Chain A
Amino acid sequence: NAGVMQNPRHLVRRRGQEARLRCSPMKGHSHVYWYRQLPEEGLKFMVYLQKENIIDESGMPKERFSAEFPKEGPSILRIQQVVRGDSAAYFCASSPRGTESSNYGYTFGSGTRLTVV
């Protein structure tokens, strides 16, 4: 029973390139959350998705960032034309149910550390 799988673990991109971060939720989990963590800071919510639906993207920057969770395959966080300020750890979490679960705790992946050079 694998946990939340994120890949790659480390990603280096030059300014202006695209970054694609992948997240496979735990088996049976249909809710995915993306968070960004800057050094010495807490986690900042970015987006909450269910299969084929974006439920809450209030934490996503308006430009260059997008996320999807297709019917088949992992959830993808895509950052276009990366800048140095995008360097951070990006964590994905999944849960079996969103609002009705009695356990509101999420299961996190180990993150993708993006470095923009």
Chain B
Amino acid sequence: QQQVKQSPQSLIVQKGGISIINCAYENTAFDYFPWYQQFPGKGPALLIAIRPDVSEKKEGRFTISFNKSAKQFSLHIMDSQPGDSATYFCAASIRTGNNRKLIWGLGTSLAVNP
């Protein structure tokens, strides 16, 4: 019940296209959903995040769409660029006792062809 399922595992998009990565969860206690971007040889970096009381959040070319009833959320990258080629992880945050824990998806490797 604490899993976050991410798809697809890999994605190839042409420059200028839209990249879409999907995540689904079961536990309704999750209350914060960040997306991380990881370039080879680097640690993950927070890209954009959303709370479940909001259906959409946009930052530049990156948009999170959140469907609370379906327990799904997705990352859309508009006008995808070769520099967006990276691994993207969705995650979900949950309070556990006095602490918080991030549950991670397995990642999506995005390649944007020039």
> Which listed segment binds A: B13-21, B59-67, B72-80, B94-102?
B94-102
> Which listed segment binds B: A14-22, A38-46, A70-78, A80-88?
A38-46
Do B34 and A104 touch (CB < 8 A)? yes
Complex-state Cα separation, A42 to B44, whole angstroms: 11
B interface, by DSSP: helix, strand, loop or mixed? Answer: strand
Give the size range of B's interface with the partner.
Answer: 20 to 34
With beta carbons under 8 angstroms apart, the residue of A42, A56, A105, A107 that contacts B104 is A42
Mask: chain A, 89-117; 1 = CB below 8 Å from B; 0 = not = 00101000011000011111111000000
Do A99 and B102 touch (CB < 8 A)? no
Complex-state Cα separation, A104 to B32, whole angstroms: 8
- A55 close to chain B: CB less than 8 A: yes
Q: List the A side residues contacting B105 at CB < 8 Å.
A: 42
Give the size range of A's interface with the partner.
Answer: 20 to 34
Q: List the B side residues contacting A43 at CB < 8 Å.
A: 44, 89, 104
B contacts, CB < 8 Å to A: 6, 32, 34, 36, 41-46, 49, 89, 93, 95-96, 98-102, 104-107
